[in-house]
Amino acid sequence: MPRHLSQSEWGQRARAVLPDGGFGNFDPSVFIREGRGSRVWDEDGKEYVDLLIGSGPMLLGHGHPEVLEVVAEQMPKGMTFFANNARAVELAEEICAAVPCADQIRYVSSGGEADMYAIRLARAFTGRDKIVKFEGGYHGMSAEAQMSLAPSRMVNFPQAVPDSAGIPASVQAEMLIAPFNDPDYIRSLLAEHGDRIAGIIVEPLQRIIPPEPGFLQLLRDEADKYGIVLIFDEVVTGFRFAYGGAQELYGVTPDIATLGKIIGGGFPLAAIAGRAEIMAHFDKSTVGPEKWLMQLGTLSGNPVAAVAGLKTMEVLRRAGQYDRLRANGQRLMDMASAALTNQGVAHRVIGDPTLFEIVFTEGKVRDYRDVVRAETARATRFNAVLMQNGVFKSPGKTYPSLALTEADFDLCKAAYAKAAQAVAEMQSAGVS
């Protein structure tokens, strides 16, 4: 039997074949061996409560038995066909029934791919080129999305700052950047450029920052005023905030929404969902060759992901699931805040019970620049101590799941107390 390798040994192997030794997603020194329910184990055998849940898709937890059952039934029948299949049609029907803006959908394999096509679709529909994006908003890895995602230098709006090498200046010129939650600025921006703007793309909850009351409706009203396509990036919030997503929760319907993560039940699957007249641009026979948007993908709508997504959504439709998810998240928010308050550490709990984070600031958090001004060293220490004490999470988000147990909450409470104490010690020492 081959010897089990440690994380450090796997790290050495990874550095030989992977740039920076990883996949570009997470700390490359961490290698997860397996996940069951609410827990994951690394290659050294350390066990964690999982508050990352694959960056969102494992809302039911790892290895949910009903999802495993339908996947096991599908696998012998075929894993992918590059052709229509009935299960993906059933999933599309369920998405269209659930999501307010969805007359039709088109499948892709990742949320970033969905965002890229949504932007292109807005351009095809309007015949315009410019796109409005909010500073700090994450919309995947396309050239347009990699503008002012996490700029290290703050410039005047609406100038775009590339976050990556390899992006042509011509792309930068077509992007207009606005601050999130600033109604006056977006009104003035659209008054100046509205007739040249194809789309406004926005996360209804920008990373962890909630929209202020009326902000999303303002975007809807202004988009209508100038004939602009409003795109909600619901890759994260779709089927998490509510069964109909953030657009159901906030009561604002976009023209297009992008979906991912949960709709694939842990497998690669995403979708663009929108009004029929806009989605028609995927159909050459309807719009003609000049207005047709070409789109295809080898694994788009594959039946394994479709059955996993269908079963996940069936479970989410059961009575009380969203109440329980929100209750789980609220317990985590409350215990983290209580631990920090007991230690006299200034902080804000930002987000929604289904997706939140601790920001170390006394001020209000309305946009990306407010987050950047917070005490990032304290956040780094807080998250590191959580990991040391068995809580696995993203450096910038906490993802509650339906799989959390009382034992998980007990472990998290103890870990939050130790992390809060560590931050208080930093504070007492004057470390910022």
Give the model confidence (pLDDT) of 19-41 as tens digits.
Answer: 999 999 999 999 999 999 999 99
Strand partners, 48: 40
Residue 239: pLDDT band with limits 50, 70, 90? very high
pLDDT digits (tens, 9 = 90+) for 292-304: 999 999 999 999 9
CA–CA–CA angle 11, 17, 23 (5° rounding): 70
pLDDT > 80? residue 125: yes
| Mean pLDDT estimate for the chain | 96
Cis amide bond preceding 211, omega within 30: no
How do the domains of the chain map onto residue ranges?
31-63+319-428, 65-316
Cβ-Cβ contacts under 8 Å for 241 (sequence gap 6 or more)? 204, 205, 248, 249, 352, 354, 355
* CATH domain 65-316 topology: Aspartate Aminotransferase; domain 2 (3.40.640)
pLDDT > 90? residue 355: yes
Per-residue model confidence (pLDDT) at position 220: 98
pLDDT digits (tens, 9 = 90+) for 267-288: 999 999 999 999 999 999 999 9
pLDDT > 70? residue 1: no
Strand partners, 230: 200
CATH architecture of 31-63+319-428: Alpha-Beta Complex (3.90)
Q: What share of the chain is helix, strand, coil (3-state, %, to 5)?
A: 45, 15, 40
Residue 403 Cα distances to 262, 328, 400, angstroms: 14, 9, 9
Rounded to 10°, the helix 65-74/303-316 angle is: 150
What is the Cα–Cα distance from 286 to 400, expressed in whole angstroms?
Answer: 43
Per-residue model confidence (pLDDT) at position 432: 62
What is the average per-residue pLDDT within 151-160? 91
What is the average per-residue pLDDT within 355-371? 95
Please state whether the predicted TM-score (pTM) of the whole model is above 0.75: yes
pLDDT digits (tens, 9 = 90+) for 40-54: 999 999 999 999 999
Rounded to 10°, the helix 86-98/303-316 angle is: 40
pLDDT > 80? residue 430: no
Query: Which residue numbers are catalytic?
Result: 138, 233, 261
Cβ-Cβ contacts under 8 Å for 160 (sequence gap 6 or more)? 133, 147, 148, 172, 175, 176, 177
Pairing of strands 130-134, 175-178: parallel
Show the DSSP H helices in 82-202 as ranges: 86-98, 111-126, 169-173, 183-193
Residue 152: pLDDT band with limits 50, 70, 90? confident
Share of the chain above pLDDT 70, in %: 100
Which of 285, 109, 293 lies closest to 198 in space, CA to CA? 293
What is the average per-residue pLDDT within 238-266? 98
Rg (CA), the chain: 22
